[in-house]
Chain A
């Protein structure tokens, strides 16, 4: 089974849906996908649009794709500089029955349910572990304003 065949199937399914994550494929390489996640309400990321890139290998779906945030985000499980995401289903808990859409939904959920105990961003993790919600929110909102909202209004 070829990864490109499976990805083509996924893409045609997404095109038939309302494509809530604005998922798109790199026109030169079917293994490289992009999606736009909307910052969920009641999080510091509200009103932000976060672009992620999803890079599959030719072993997909036997092995998980690599996911990175292109838009910087202040979140305990997302590396602020590299955009790397720490999520169990993208590592040991991956299942080949997962698809790109499910990944987008899982990451969207991660935005509203951070896991401060396995941080890639220690500052954000420490704030949550210290239950300092105010600091977490004001830092998160600031960066959302800087990168996830401004970027978008520039394009328009």
Chain B
């Protein structure tokens, strides 16, 4: 018990190596299973803080061996894997943690979702970069090869201009197949908040708004539809389910377009 408290004290003052030492002392003193789980978990988070992801992972595994539904073990495992840039596996762990948290109606669900968004974005960027690098490499190789061919041919050829045309055509082709992020369609954005909508609602005017935005407007005395100026009240607004599904589908393919969740989870028992 004492070791844990000491470790937590060091953790709170950001002295993670010291904290790890005390958690290890605690684990060596043969604690009961509950305390053992807490010590492992606290040590796992401390290891993440000092970027010792592999050590953190083995602590998480140790917990999962006797408590496979430990929300925190899955969560820290996700953090460590994300630290090791293994985003796909990290997502799996984080989503397991989310599923378990939802079952227990835990308070940190929003933060957990924010972390998942963050890792999804990292995974997306990694894929995007891989694709770009692959194209860049292929392009360079191809042009190098063509240059070589042209040099050999030029010595006895009159078609230099023709070749230049073909080369610039190829350049344009490579520009065109570069992966590009699409614009966020304006019909996915609320005319009031200008942000992509989470919970679109539609009233008698047929225009869709973010629920919070239009309700705030009505609360602050607005009684006309912002676009059509027909009279409005809260009762006439209903969820626009089709639009929400379309937005969700777009966000799944374009995680970069999600609103950033600013809070980051950080806790210790």
Chain A residues engaging chain B, CB cutoff 8 angstroms: 1, 5-6, 9-10, 13, 59, 61-63, 95-97, 99
Contact = CB atoms under 8 A, between A and B. Distances in A.
A142 B28 CA distance: 91
Of the listed residues A1, A6, A63, A99, the one surrounded by the most CB atoms of chain B closer than 10 A to its CB is: A1
A1 B193 contact: yes
Of the listed residues A5, A61, A63, A96, the one surrounded by the most CB atoms of chain B closer than 10 A to its CB is: A96
A10 B194 contact: yes
Given A6-B193, A95-B229, A96-B226, 13 more contacts: A1-B195, A6-B195, A9-B193, A10-B194, A62-B217, A95-B226, A95-B227, A96-B192, A96-B213, A96-B222, A97-B192, A97-B227, A99-B194
B220 A95 contact: no
A63 B220 contact: yes
Contacts of B195: 1, 5-6, 9
9 contacts: A1-B193, A5-B193, A5-B195, A6-B192, A62-B220, A95-B224, A96-B226, A97-B192, A99-B194
B194 A62 contact: no
B33 interface: no
B261 interface: no
B226 A62 contact: no
Nearest to B229: A95
B255 interface: no
A6 to B, nearest CB: 6
B191 interface: yes
B226 A97 contact: yes
B18 interface: no
B216 A1 contact: yes
Please give me the 5 A-B residue pairs with the lowest Cβ-Cβ distance, nearest first. A97-B226, A95-B226, A97-B191, A62-B220, A9-B194
Interface of B: 191-195, 210, 212-213, 216-217, 220, 222, 224, 226-227, 229
B184 to A, nearest CB: 11
B73 to A, nearest CB: 36
Contacts of A6: 192-195
Contacts of A95: 224, 226-227, 229
A1 to B, nearest CB: 5
Nearest to B219: A62
B169 to A, nearest CB: 30
A62 B216 contact: yes
A57 B87 CA distance: 42
A48 to B, nearest CB: 32
A30 B222 CA distance: 24
Contacts of B194: 6, 9-10, 13, 99
B193 A62 contact: no
Contacts of A5: 193, 195
Nearest to A12: B194
A69 to B, nearest CB: 26
A10 B194 CA distance: 8
A62 B220 CA distance: 7
A59 B213 CA distance: 12
B226 to A, nearest CB: 4
Nearest to A1: B193
Given A1-B192, A96-B192, A59 B227 contact: no
Contacts of A63: 220
A61 B220 contact: no
Nearest to B193: A1
